[in-house]
Amino acid sequence: MADKFHDEIINLRGDVVHMARFGRDMLNDSMTALQLQDLEMAMEVKSRKTTLQEQHDSLEDRIFTMIALYQPVARDLRTLVCSLMIVQASERIGRYGKDIANATRHLADTESTGNFISIPHMSELVVGMIDDAIIAYEHEDLTNIEGMSKRDDVVDSLRTSIFRECLTYMMEDPRTITRCTHYVMISRFLERSGDHACKMAEKIHYMVTGERIEIK
What single string gives the DSSP state of each residue in 128-170? HHHHHHHHHHHHT-GGGGTTHHHHHHHHHHHHHHHHHHHHHHH
Among 53, 158, 39, 155, residue whose Cα is nearest residue 105: 39
Give tens-digit pLDDT for 65-90: 999 999 999 999 999 999 999 999 99
- Is 216 inside any structural domain? no
- Is 215 inside any structural domain? no
Among 133, 151, 103, residue whose Cα is nearest residue 206: 133
At residue 115 the predicted structure's pLDDT band, cuts being 50, 70 and 90, is low
State residue 212 phi and psi, 5-degree precision: -90, 140
How many structural domains compose the chain? 1
Per-residue model confidence (pLDDT) at position 142: 97
- Is 12 inside any structural domain? yes
**Domain with 191 in it:** 2-209
HSE, side-chain direction, 13 A CA sphere, residue 71: 0
* pLDDT > 70 fraction of the chain, expressed in percent and rounded: 96
Cα separation, 57 vs 64, in Å, equals: 11
Q: What is the CATH number of the domain that holds 6?
A: 1.20.58.220
At residue 111 the predicted structure's pLDDT band, cuts being 50, 70 and 90, is low
Q: Is the pLDDT of residue 20 over 80?
A: yes
Q: Which residues have CB under 8 Å from 66's CB, separation 6+?
A: 5, 8, 9, 12, 72, 80
Q: Is the pLDDT of residue 138 over 70?
A: yes
Give tens-digit pLDDT for 193-214: 999 999 999 999 999 999 999 9
- Is 175 inside any structural domain? yes
Per-residue model confidence (pLDDT) at position 117: 82
| Mean pLDDT, range 29-42, rounded to an integer | 94
Say how many C-beta atoms besides its own lie within 10 A of residue 68's C-beta: 8
Per-residue model confidence (pLDDT) at position 202: 98
- Is 214 inside any structural domain? no
At residue 108 the predicted structure's pLDDT band, cuts being 50, 70 and 90, is confident
HSE, side-chain direction, 13 A CA sphere, residue 103: 24
* pLDDT > 90 fraction of the chain, expressed in percent and rounded: 89
- Is 82 inside any structural domain? yes
Cβ–Cβ < 8 Å for 169, 114: yes
Q: Is the pLDDT of residue 152 over 90?
A: yes
**With the C-alpha atoms ordered 5, 11, 14, 18, is the resulting torsion angle positive or negative?**
negative
- Is 54 inside any structural domain? yes
- Is 78 inside any structural domain? yes
HSE, side-chain direction, 13 A CA sphere, residue 72: 21
